[in-house]
Amino acid sequence: MFVRFVFTVLLAAVMAAPLGSAMAAEDPVVAVVNGAEIRLSMAKAAHKSLPTQYQKVPFDVIFPGLVDSLIDTRLSAADARKNKMHEKAEFQSQIARISEQVLQRMMLNQIMENAITDAAVRARYEDEVKKVAGAEEILARHILLKTEDEASAVIAELKKGGDFAELAKKKSTGPSAGDGGKLGFFGKGQMVPAFETVAFALKAGTYTDKPVKTQFGWHVIKVEERRKATPPSFKEMEPGLRDALFQEVGADYVQKLRIGAKIARFNIDGTPRETKKPADGAGKQ
C-alpha cells in the first residue's frame, strides 16, 4: 500500500528536484532500469515531496521504497512510450503546462536568490527593531462578561476586596478564565482598539472602574505591570522576515510583469467580460 502511495507522488518529486543536481559529484547512481540511471537526488526529491507525516520518516528507512517506486515509474513510462502515449494531445498539453511551471520556478528562484540576501534580511530586522525601540508593553488580566450589568457587578466585588484572578476563574467567559484572565505582555496594535485604549491608560496595579465594551462582550481589565518592549532576537525573527520578503519580492516581480502586458480576461463560458463604464466625470481633469 505504501509503495502504491509513493508512486502517486513521484511526478511531483521529479518536478521538485533541483535542476542540474542529477550530475552532481555527490549524486551516485542508486538503480539502473534498462540502461536508464536513477540517482540519489531523485530519491531525495521524492522524499521531500511526500506528505509531512512521511517526510518525518528517516530517509535511510524510506529509501528502499522510494527507489522501488522510481523504478516502477521508469518502467511504466517506458511502457507508455511503447504504446505511443507520449504522442497523445493530453500528454503534450500537460508537458506544456509543466514546462511553464518549471520555467516559472527557475525564474523565481533566481530572483529570490538575488533579492533575499542575508544583508537584506538583516536590514529588515533592523527596521523592525527601530519600530519597537521605546515602545511599551503591559501585563494585563481581564474578565469577560456577556452583559454590562454582569461586568458592573464584578467591579463592585473588586471594590469590596475581591481577588481579580479568582473572579476571572469563576465568572469570565473568555478562554483565559482558567489562568485567572491572564493575557501576558502585549504592546500596542495587538488588541482591539477599544480594549487597548483603556488598558494602556491604566497605571500598574489598577483596574477599570467601568465596563469596557468590545465586539467580544464586556470587559473588566487590570494592568499588573508596565515595561519597555524588548524586541525579539534576530534568530527568532529571521524565518518570518524571510517569508515576508519572499512574499513581497514575488508580488513585486509579478506586478512588474503585468505592467505593459496585454491581458484579456473572459467569463467562465468564454464570453467577453463587460467593462464597467467610468462614472460621470471620472478621468476628467
Cα distance between the two ends of the chain: 69
Task: For residues 217 and 193, state if they share a domain.
Answer: yes
Q: What is the mean pLDDT of residues 218-231?
A: 94
Predicted confidence at residue 272, as pLDDT, reads 87
Nearest of 155, 186, 159 to residue 171 by alpha carbon: 155
Predicted confidence at residue 183, as pLDDT, reads 96
Q: How confident is the model at residue 280 (pLDDT cuts 50, 70, 90)?
A: low
DSSP three-state, residue 184:
strand
Q: How confident is the model at residue 242 (pLDDT cuts 50, 70, 90)?
A: very high
Q: What is the mean pLDDT of residues 223-248?
A: 93
Phi, then psi, of 25 in degrees rounded to 5 = -60, -35
User: Residue 16 pLDDT > 60, yes or no?
Assistant: no
Predicted confidence at residue 25, as pLDDT, reads 59
Chain-wide mean pLDDT for the chain? 88
Q: What is the mean pLDDT of residues 85-98?
A: 95
Predicted confidence at residue 132, as pLDDT, reads 80
Q: Is 267 inside any structural domain?
A: no
Q: What is the mean pLDDT of residues 128-139?
A: 87
Q: How confident is the model at residue 7 (pLDDT cuts 50, 70, 90)?
A: very low
Q: How confident is the model at residue 274 (pLDDT cuts 50, 70, 90)?
A: confident
Task: For residues 254 and 124, state if they share a domain.
Answer: yes
* Of 263 and 217, the one with more pLDDT: 217
Task: For residues 17 and 62, state if they share a domain.
Answer: yes
Compute CA distances 115 → 20, 74, 125, 252, 259, whole Å.
22, 38, 15, 11, 20
Task: For residues 6 and 70, state if they share a domain.
Answer: yes
Residue 143: CB atoms within 10 Å: 31
CB 165 within 8 A of CB 181: yes
Q: How confident is the model at residue 275 (pLDDT cuts 50, 70, 90)?
A: low
User: Residue 227 pLDDT > 90, yes or no?
Assistant: yes
Predicted confidence at residue 134, as pLDDT, reads 76
Residue 28: CB atoms within 10 Å: 10
Q: What is the mean pLDDT of residues 111-135?
A: 91
Task: For residues 178 and 144, state if they share a domain.
Answer: yes
Q: Is 8 inside any structural domain?
A: yes
Q: Is 125 inside any structural domain?
A: yes
Domain end: 188, 211, 228, which one?
Answer: 228
Which segment of 195-209, 231-245, 260-274 scores lowest on mean pLDDT? 260-274
Phi, then psi, of 155 in degrees rounded to 5 = -60, -40
Q: Is 276 inside any structural domain?
A: no
Task: For residues 19 and 34, state if they share a domain.
Answer: yes
Q: Is 264 inside any structural domain?
A: no
Encode burial over 238-256: b for 16+ CB neighbours within 10 A, e otherwise. beebbeebeeebeeeeeee
Predicted confidence at residue 285, as pLDDT, reads 42
119's CB contacts (< 8 A; 6+ apart) are none
Q: How confident is the model at residue 231 (pLDDT cuts 50, 70, 90)?
A: confident
Say if residue 191 is exposed, middle or buried (CB neighbours under 10 Å; 0-12, 13-18, 19+).
Answer: buried
DSSP assignment string, 23-85: G-TT--EEEEETTEEEEHHHHHHHHHHS-HHHHTS-HHHHHHHHHHHHHHHHHHHHHHHHTTG
Task: For residues 99 and 178, state if they share a domain.
Answer: no
Q: Is 218 inside any structural domain?
A: yes
How far apart CA 177 and CA 195 sit, in angstroms, is: 17
Task: For residues 149 and 71, state if they share a domain.
Answer: no
User: Residue 4 pLDDT > 70, yes or no?
Assistant: no
Alpha helices in 134-233 (DSSP H): 148-159, 164-171, 193-201
Which segment of 14-18, 42-46, 156-160 scores lowest on mean pLDDT? 14-18
Task: For residues 79 and 14, state if they share a domain.
Answer: yes
Q: How confident is the model at residue 246 (pLDDT cuts 50, 70, 90)?
A: very high
How far apart CA 221 and CA 159 sit, in angstroms, is: 13
> In this structure, what CATH number is given to the domain that contains residue 138?
3.10.50.40
Q: How many domains does the chain have?
A: 3
How far apart CA 146 and CA 216 sit, in angstroms, is: 8
Phi, then psi, of 147 in degrees rounded to 5 = -125, 160
Most confident of 3-7, 155-159, 276-280: 155-159
Domain containing 76: what range?
2-87
Q: What is the mean pLDDT of residues 61-69?
A: 95
Task: For residues 249 and 110, state if they share a domain.
Answer: yes
Q: How confident is the model at residue 3 (pLDDT cuts 50, 70, 90)?
A: very low
Q: Is the dihedral of CA 166, 169, 170, 171 positive or negative?
A: positive
Task: For residues 200 and 71, state if they share a domain.
Answer: no
Q: Is 272 inside any structural domain?
A: no
Cell numbers that stand for 195 in this block: 480594549
Task: For residues 176 and 201, state if they share a domain.
Answer: yes
